[in-house]
Structure 1
Amino acid sequence: MNRSALVAVAAGALQGVFEWLPISSEGNITVFLTALGSSPEAAVQFSLFLHAGTALSATVYYRDELGDVLAALPDWRPGEAFADDGNRATLSFLGVATLASGIVGIAAYATLETVVSALTGGAFVALVGVLLVLTGVLQRVADDFESGGRASSVLPAAFEFGGRESPDLTDAVLVGALQGLAILPGVSRSGTTASALLFRGHDGPSSFRLSFLLSIPAALGAGVLVLLDTGVPGVAPVEAVLALVTAAVIGYLTIDALMRVVERVPFWGVCVGLGALAILGGAALLA
């Protein structure tokens, strides 16, 4: 196996693991590929492309739940989109949030291309580090909010932790927009969207469930966006397929265990630590 194939397999394996952790799989894989000599543009495109592999993993893993949600489609009515506490509200959430993700994500992708083309490798790595640190800080605040379980008198009722049973239109637009911004490397998609749902009053399990269901159309969309923009990014087609298969297989094998790990490990600290290392590494490359 040649070097480029080994790098493709390694990147696919990292995507299969990192996707389920709130540490920005895109950001960390982009730093990994940049460190191995890829240009920032190629690294970003390839890391986004790999999301299609873990989208397949999530689809297979959540197949029963997705089937239940899609079964509500014949009974869906615009005026009652968020009226129940079950699959119809979840279906409405996924539809509206995916639309919001697409609108914001396409704009963010265009901005990202402009910024990346203007940065050197070191400056780009440092920028990813800054976004990782900010993501970690957001997760820390959300963790404090959840652990306190507080319903503060200074917060509106919609922010009372644990008081929400189903998503509403505001949840869908807010979370979808934030997921669109997560196309920026260093912004954790799951960390950001789950944190937003916690602040909106959903409990931890519900927040992660909605976040990962929403990841499926978003990840597929990211892969398709890259293909339409650049074609297979930076590698031979065979190596691209190898990376996607690796991401899908590793992702499916690890999702259950890593979801349990996320419940026990304060990943905000991991995010901050990785971000700090990226900032130092980027500064060293600029020196």
Structure 2
Amino acid sequence: MSYLAILVLSFIQGLTEFLPVSSSGHLILIPKLFGWPDQGLEMDVAVHLGTLLSVILYFREDIKDLIQHFFRYIASGFNQEKFTPETKLSFIIIVATLPAVIVGFSLKKMGMDMMRSIQLIATTSIVFGILMYIADRRPQLWGLDKINWGSGFIIGLAQAIALIPGTSRSGICMTAARAMGFDRITSARFAFLLSIPAILGAGLLTTIDAVKEGHSIFNAVFGMAFGLSFLFGLAAIHFMLSFLTRHGLGIFTLYRVVLGIILLTVM
């Protein structure tokens, strides 16, 4: 794989993992557009782990609090006095992750080649882009402290749908949250926190597949892709949270709709 391909694919993964435009869709499209061969499992592992590190580093204080409160509650013998808002949020994230795990394993058993078509990516880009715009018109009523078991699980169900290329994991999670009245920053923060087990799971499964097939994972390509996707992912998270303090999601809907129309027309 050329250095240009590594740079472009790392940039695409790092950026689109946290912007509501679909990382999986773009990672399928870019090699097709440039005539590049499939990036391979080594590349998939590297960019997944790179973006995982970026979100962990960015939310390290939040993650530290969630883990500490979770294990304090467990160690206390489930003492309700130790069941803090942070404990509750940690359990909600676990519960919200389950739908994606179940659907992900099911799709892996069935095979996903049928879900990699340009027409599907174009359609999901347009449809879920429009739904995101409609949801973002809702008033911004609730903060992170208002996320409960029901709303968390609904966002988790939305995340499971994002396994369809072109949907966007962060985009559909924010869409679900905004549709329920959560403010834009809360919607993005919860989507990013929820991405941690999702990216970890995807990276782990890809690593297992790579090892089973005898691929040498930790090489120069891995190091470059890992480092670049980490840096681009960190920048994307910071940009998105800063952007949403002043703007809505309309510009991303416009991009998705235009991209979808171009794909349906040209491809």
Residue 201 of structure 2 is matched in structure 1 by 221
Structure 2 residue aligned with 1:128 = 121
Is residue 33 of structure 1 aligned with residue 31 of structure 2?
Answer: yes
Q: CA deviation at 1:48?
A: 5.5
Over aligned residue pairs, what C-alpha RMSD do you find? 3.0
The TM-score with structure 1 as length reference comes to: 0.78
Q: Classify 1:259/1:165 alpha carbon distance in 2 versus 1 (closer, same or farther; 3 Å).
A: closer
Given candidates 6, 10, 18, the residue that maps to 1:8 is 6
Corresponding residue to 1:183 among 163, 181, 186: 163
Q: Distance in 2 between matches of 1:233 and 1:207?
A: 40
Selected match of 2:19 from 11, 18, 21 = 21
Residue 104 of structure 1 and its aligned partner are, at CA, apart by 1.8
Measured at CA, do residues 269 and 48 of structure 1 come closer, stay the same or move farther in structure 2, by a change above 3 Å? Answer: farther
| Corresponding position of 2:67 | 70
Deviation of the 1:250 alpha carbon: 2.0
Are 2:126 and 2:257, in contact at CA under 8 Å, matched by a contact in 1? yes
Alignment match of 1:171 (pick from 142, 147, 151):
151
Closer, same or farther: CA 275–247 of 1 in aligned 2, 3 Å: same
Within-5 A mapping of 1:132-281:
132-146=125-139, 161-162=141-142, 165-231=145-211, 237-263=219-245, 264=247, 266=250, 267-281=252-266
State the alpha-carbon separation in 2 of the partners of residues 6 and 110 from structure 1: 33
CA deviations on 1:109-161 (whole Å, 9 max, x unpaired) are 44452415xx7xxxx12221111111101101111223xx6xxxxxxxxxxx4
Query: Distance between the aligned counterparts of 2:224 and 2:235, measured in 1?
Result: 17
- Secondary structure of the 2:137 match is helix
Deviation at 1:20, TM superposition (A): 2.2
**Structure 1 pair 172/195, CA: closer, same or farther in 2 (3 Å)?**
same
Assess if the C-alpha contact under 8 Å between 2:100 and 2:159 holds in 1.
Answer: yes
TM-score of the pair, normalised by structure 2: 0.83
Contact 2:126 2:256 in 1 (8 A): yes
Quote the Cα distance in structure 2 between the aligned partners of 1:58 and 1:105: 21
* Paired residues of 1:25 and 1:188 also in contact (CA < 8 A): yes
Q: Return 5+ residue gaps in structure 2 as ranges.
A: none
Number of equivalenced pairs: 257
Report % sequence identity. Answer: 26
